[in-house]
Structure 1
Amino acid sequence: MTIVADRFAHVMGVDTHARTHTFSIVDAATGGVLETAAFPVTAAGMDRALAWASRRAPGYAAAVEGTASYGATLTTRLQAAGVTVFEARPPRRAARAGHGKSDQIDAVAAARSVLAEPTELLAQPRSGERRQALQLLLTARRLIERQRTQDRNALTALLRGVELGVDARRALTAAQLRQIATWRPRGGDSIAQSVARTEAIRLAREVQQRGDLLADNQSQLRQHVTALAPGLLAEQGIGPITGAVFIAAYSHHGRIRSEAAFASLAGAAPIPASSGNTDRHRLNRHGDRRLNAALDTVVRSRLAHDPDTRAYRDRRIAEGKTKRDVRRLLRRYLARHIYRTLKQTLTP
């Protein structure tokens, strides 16, 4: 494997913040600092930073902290300019002992942290507008779902506390929401009922509006997933949302080095839990829980609708496995399958 210092003559480390970024150019062969400068986080400031770096270190690589947060805009500009970008991890507190901390020190540390690392093993930030769109849509979806749930819970609590003629002992149905959203003020209501009815109408309409937003969100996810990984949605049980989660976790070729690494990321890698004469594995509660939940959604769908999956479940239960064990095994198998599928079909 080729290390960064053998491939690049210079590495630029970047310590990112909300208002300014600090840049330090390091000689890859010696680790010596050539020059350091700070630029404001504006379009003009980033243009000046890239011009400054190009004049002092042509053909450099960049090690950027916070490529998905404060350094996201800079990362996009560097990639558009053809610069190889590595994701630099912030130094541990123990590593700072005796060296102190400043923006310049952190920028130099970011550059030096990648010099001796093989380029194939270093994390590189995701690129591509569709991948970024997927992340934005998934983030927006979580927010909309959370807000819709809060509105439904508030509406249910209101209907249980004030008599408005709605049976709210169970979760409200879509028909009940439509009915409440079309209510009008009633002259016979008490003061409390009048206020409660107005609030119920508002909450019901907001729940409906958020439902429309989620439907539009799902349509956009379907479009991007189909473009990025043709054929993924044809897999049994995989829909636009779970497909988007799989692509967002896999991100791009080279980020996940193997099937086992993808399963570990998903929390689907088995954990030994043997003792004495008992030989078993248990559920893994680590890793990306959103990815794990997406795997579980697909597994449950296949258990409900796919005869082959049900036959596998019955065979393993006959061997002494529990239903939970079977779902764990299916998640592990599915993680391997998704990794292979994305590796073969995901567009660069």
Structure 2
Amino acid sequence: MNRPDRSARRRRGKSDPVDAQEAARAVLSGRARSQAKAGDGPVQCACLFKLAKDSAVKARTQGVNQLKAVLITADPDLREGLNGLKARALVRTCAQFEDREDGVGGRSAVEQATRITLCLLARRIEQLTEQIRDLERCLTGLVERHFPQLLIPVSIGPDSAATLLITMGDNPERLRSEASFAALCGVSPVEYSSGCQRRHRLNRSGDRRANAALYRIVQSRLRFDARTRR
């Protein structure tokens, strides 16, 4: 269904029977012409892989931030020994700390707790990194197997291709033209003329993830593709 009519909701309120009646009227009058995305094909598989990958990336970022925050208040000797290491080397070094609790009392107990925390956080980050790599391999294999034509243009990788496929759905015939896909991604111009002035503004609706994927593709092509720069 299309988005519910806001004016009808203001007049009649909101409830399941009211929404059902408005939906039926929209279908009978022809105002509702949208076709729902199907979820029974490879695109649905890509959606599940992407969901798991995005959550793993978010958790890994949170873990890295927590690890660096622990280092800020760590013992100066421990902090100086890890100072200057880049993220990967820092995680690798912290993951090798012993997670035994053999220090008691005073500063040694706090330092030992800090080392245990750093070790556990680093190992969690490594596990999430391995999950992200596995999911990236799954996404790449799926796109290469079912939609290899998407990877031919410059600057379109498996992740961006999967994002656009998820927006499209398993039934691309529901999109009647390139313009409808542009509107679905929020990259179509919207007219807001008044009187003798004809103007257009940016489309702020649509799938924002697909919008961001198209933005990344264009920015990359501006760097590496001569035709796009021209």
**Normalized against structure 2, the TM-score is what?**
0.77
Per the TM alignment, residue 262 of structure 1 is displaced from its structure 2 partner at its CA by 2.2
Per the TM alignment, residue 280 of structure 1 is displaced from its structure 2 partner at its CA by 9.4
Kept in 2: contact 1:268–1:284 (CA 8 A):
yes
Kept in 1: contact 2:143–2:158 (CA 8 A):
yes
1:250-265 correspondence to structure 2 within 5 Å: 250-251=168-169, 252-265=171-184
Kept in 2: contact 1:263–1:269 (CA 8 A):
yes
Greater shift in the superposed pair: 125-134 or 212-221: 125-134
Higher percent of residues as strand: 1
Query: For the residues of structure 2 that align with 1:309 and 1:298, how far apart are their CA atoms?
Result: 11
* Amino acid across the alignment from 1:293: A
1:190-201 correspondence to structure 2 within 5 Å: 190-201=108-119
Query: For the residues of structure 2 that align with 1:295 and 1:98, how far apart are their CA atoms?
Result: 39
Alpha-carbon spacing, 1:99–1:138, altered in 2? closer, same or farther (3 Å): closer
Alpha-carbon spacing, 1:203–1:269, altered in 2? closer, same or farther (3 Å): same
For residue 82 of structure 2, the aligned residue among 148, 166, 180 is: 166
Higher percent of residues as helix: 2
Per the TM alignment, residue 308 of structure 1 is displaced from its structure 2 partner at its CA by 3.3
- State how many pairs are aligned: 219
Per the TM alignment, residue 100 of structure 1 is displaced from its structure 2 partner at its CA by 8.0
Per the TM alignment, residue 101 of structure 1 is displaced from its structure 2 partner at its CA by 4.1
2:89 equivalent in structure 1: 175
Per the TM alignment, residue 256 of structure 1 is displaced from its structure 2 partner at its CA by 2.6
* Amino acid across the alignment from 1:113: A
For residue 225 of structure 2, the aligned residue among 303, 306, 314 is: 306
Q: Which has the higher contact order (CA 8 A, sep 6+)?
A: 2
Instruction: Identify unmatched segments of 5+ residues in structure 1.
Output: 1-86, 313-348
Provide the secondary structure at the position in 1 that maps to 2:174. coil
Per the TM alignment, residue 107 of structure 1 is displaced from its structure 2 partner at its CA by 4.3
Greater shift in the superposed pair: 185-194 or 301-310: 185-194
Kept in 2: contact 1:180–1:200 (CA 8 A):
yes
**Normalized against structure 1, the TM-score is what?**
0.53
- Deviation string for 1:293-338 (max 9, x for gaps)? 111222232233334334x2xxxxxxxxxxxxxxxxxxxxxxxxxx
Provide the secondary structure at the position in 2 that maps to 1:264. helix
Alpha-carbon spacing, 1:283–1:115, altered in 2? closer, same or farther (3 Å): closer
1:216 equivalent in structure 2: 134
Provide the secondary structure at the position in 2 that maps to 1:180. helix
Query: For the residues of structure 2 that align with 1:281 and 1:89, how far apart are their CA atoms?
Result: 23
For residue 63 of structure 2, the aligned residue among 138, 142, 151 is: 151
Alpha-carbon spacing, 1:107–1:289, altered in 2? closer, same or farther (3 Å): closer
RMSD of aligned C-alpha atoms?
A: 3.6
Query: For the residues of structure 2 that align with 1:222 and 1:139, how far apart are their CA atoms?
Result: 15
Alpha-carbon spacing, 1:93–1:173, altered in 2? closer, same or farther (3 Å): same
Q: Percent of aligned positions with the same letter in both sequences?
A: 35
1:204 equivalent in structure 2: 122
Query: For the residues of structure 1 that align with 2:219 and 2:155, how far apart are their CA atoms?
Result: 8
Per the TM alignment, residue 127 of structure 1 is displaced from its structure 2 partner at its CA by 3.6
Kept in 2: contact 1:180–1:201 (CA 8 A):
yes
Alpha-carbon spacing, 1:273–1:159, altered in 2? closer, same or farther (3 Å): farther
* Amino acid across the alignment from 1:257: R
Alpha-carbon spacing, 1:93–1:202, altered in 2? closer, same or farther (3 Å): farther
Instruction: Identify unmatched segments of 5+ residues in structure 2.
Output: none
Alpha-carbon spacing, 1:106–1:207, altered in 2? closer, same or farther (3 Å): same
Query: For the residues of structure 1 that align with 2:49 and 2:162, how far apart are their CA atoms?
Result: 9
Alpha-carbon spacing, 1:288–1:125, altered in 2? closer, same or farther (3 Å): closer
Does 1:287 pair with 2:201?
no
Kept in 2: contact 1:88–1:114 (CA 8 A):
no
